[in-house]
Amino acid sequence: MTDNRDEVLFIIRQMCEDNLVLGTWGNVSVKVDDESMWITPSGMSYDGLCATDLVQINFNGTVLKGCWKPSSEWRLHAALYRGRPDCAAIVHTHSTFATAFAVARTAIPPVVEDFVQVVGGGVDVAEYALPGTDCLAQNALSALADKSAVLLASHGLVGIAPNLTEALKVCRIVEKTAQAVLYAKMLGPVEELSEDDIRAMRSFYLHSYGPETCGEDV
């Protein structure tokens, strides 16, 4: 069993440095196995958070390790792990520009290349439900579909990925794109990328993008 708690703490620090969250809002989790996760505790300041503050719970919310109450959004995390077997890490942020779209109940359109590569298309808004509820969790899973990000109406952003570094990248790219779209609309209409181009770029990102040796020593 891999202990990913130090990586969770690193991602939390990055999330705070990027101003993706304020105060104690937002949460991070990483899958331990097919039945449990490490997740941030409820209502604790990220300043000074240490590995022993994280909570291991199963997908029914039972605490397996740790002394604190898990994040109130544990149901959301559990639903996404259950519904998306390719997901092993989740970052939930309340970043400014993405949340602006969530408040307006407006999807972030697929207009930027790196965005569609990482996310798989536009980011849709889940139907509103109260935070921490099973209804919110199911609405998010439904709106997420096969993409790597979803907006929670009047709430924030969720990014999922096979690992924590990628999940944070998803949130960063979505926030950057939300800002770019708002600025671009000041200049005029924005044009969405075609479905064919989105599929091609997503496939390239998943299967061909990244460092690769050329077979020769330098």
Active site residues: 73
Q: Are 88 and 30 in contact (CB under 8 A)?
A: yes
Q: Name which of 43, 71, 44 is nearest 56 in CA terms.
A: 71
Count of alpha carbons within 13 Å of 18, Cβ hemisphere only?
A: 21
Place of tokens 């109260």: 130
Distance CA 162, CA 164 (A): 7
Q: Are 89 and 166 in contact (CB under 8 A)?
A: yes
Please say whether the beta carbons of 38 and 54 come within 8 A.
Answer: yes
Instruction: Check if the beta carbon of residue 98 is closer than 8 Å to that of residue 87.
Output: no
Q: How far apart are CA 181 and CA 202, in angstroms?
A: 20
In contact, 41 and 55? CB cutoff 8 Å? yes
